[in-house]
Amino acid sequence: MNGTPAVRFEKVTRRFGDVRAVDAVSLAVGSGEFFSMLGPSGSGKTTCLRLIAGFEQPDSGHIEIFGETAEGVPPYRRSVNTVFQDYALFPHMSVGDNVAYGLMVRGMAKADRRRRAHEMLELVKLSGLEDRRPAALSGGQRQRVALARALVVHPKVLLLDEPLGALDLKLREQMQVELKALQREVGITFVYVTHDQGEALSMSDRVAVFNQGRIVQVGTPSEVYERPSSRFVADFVGGANVIDAATARQIGLRPGAYSLRPEKIDVVGADAPPPAAGRRGITGTVAMVLYQGAVRRVQVTAGEVALNATIPAGGPELAPGMAVRAEFADSALHPMADPW
């Protein structure tokens, strides 16, 4: 990472009673980076976001925003702004007044703030809606208004707390594309909190995976997905199969734990020719088949072993109880240093 980090945590801890919501977290977010904090509810990601915003203060450790100490600095004096899941728009104000509100608080002249608000609404593709009230907008439009309001004051860091959580699937996927494009256009640092691994993988430059108040892995989306560091990351990010030590011995692998992505498994008949060089397989029976449009999810069981495969929908028919072999390349197996 070149230059001063946009956000830096050094062994930051935040307690609520006996609970360590954030437990000695260290991280550095680069200037202009789209950085996501990914994890289940209660993993500490939102508390980290609130520590950056100034809504919470650390019990120990150190926080910097572009090299400046953040502990004890109130939210309104930090060069950050936040977009919340519920958008927090003022219902009695027009769209234009909502966007310009932060500029009004800062004492900007009315004509200047109206011009700036108009420019920001053009950026988020909402020009012409200045006079509408939030209630007259769709969920996606309200989300864009919240983005415009947060960006109009030119923060150095934009914090986004699960901003797409209230949208339906199709709109959420559309807004993922638009958010990433907007971040590239404005060029500022985005710190994004989500429990949705698809959102984190599709938009981020890097992802920090949280569990029980700690960061368990940081990397690019492909690093986290293809090379999980632990059973937790393998399962949480994309639902990988975990090959334990006993199964590894059964199929001729070195002792240890391995992750195996479902889409890297082929399901063939039990009487198919043996796997080619560099491939191996586990013979068992089909336990479950789920049709999901372009693909099918198939579970193959062999004794205590259960492998989940994702295969094209147009392949041979499979049914529960059918004898099959789950095949995969040796290169699809990723050894994990921490099996848990």
pLDDT of residue 340: 55
Q: Could you tell me the CATH number of the domain that includes residue 177?
A: 3.40.50.300
Q: Is residue 233 part of a domain?
A: no
Q: Could you tell me the CATH number of the domain that includes residue 248?
A: 2.40.50.100
Do 60 and 202 sit in the same domain of this protein? yes
Q: Is residue 236 part of a domain?
A: no
Low-confidence ranges of the chain (pLDDT < 50): none
Residues of 214-236 as b/e, b for ≥16 C-beta within 10 angstroms?
bbbbbbebeebbbbbbbbbbbeb
Picking from 194, 228, 262, the residue at the C-terminal end of a domain is 228
Picking from 228, 261, 292, the residue at the C-terminal end of a domain is 228
pLDDT of residue 175: 83
Do 53 and 97 sit in the same domain of this protein? yes
Q: Is residue 235 part of a domain?
A: no
Q: Which amino acid is it at 86? A: D
Residues of 301-334 as b/e, b for ≥16 C-beta within 10 angstroms?
ebeebebbbbbeeeeeebeeebebbbbbeeebbb
User: Domain containing 321: what range?
Assistant: 241-336
Picking from 160, 194, 228, the residue at the C-terminal end of a domain is 228
Do 194 and 277 sit in the same domain of this protein? no
312 pairs with which residues across the strands?
Answer: 295
Q: Is residue 271 part of a domain?
A: yes
pLDDT of residue 169: 80
Report how far residue 334's alpha carbon sits from residue 240's, in angstroms, rounded to the nearest whole number: 10
Give which of 211, 193, 202 is closest to 52, Cα–Cα: 193
Count of structural domains within the chain: 2
Q: Is residue 2 part of a domain?
A: no
Report how far residue 168's alpha carbon sits from residue 215's, in angstroms, rounded to the nearest whole number: 29
pLDDT of residue 339: 53
Report how far residue 143's alpha carbon sits from residue 155's, in angstroms, rounded to the nearest whole number: 18
Do 192 and 254 sit in the same domain of this protein? no
Do 105 and 205 sit in the same domain of this protein? yes
Evaluate if pTM is beyond 0.75: yes
Do 249 and 184 sit in the same domain of this protein? no
Cβ-contact 319, 266 below 8 angstroms? no
Q: Is residue 289 part of a domain?
A: yes
Cβ-contact 282, 305 below 8 angstroms? yes
pLDDT of residue 338: 63
Do 183 and 245 sit in the same domain of this protein? no
Give which of 80, 81, 61, 65 is closest to 21, Cα–Cα: 61
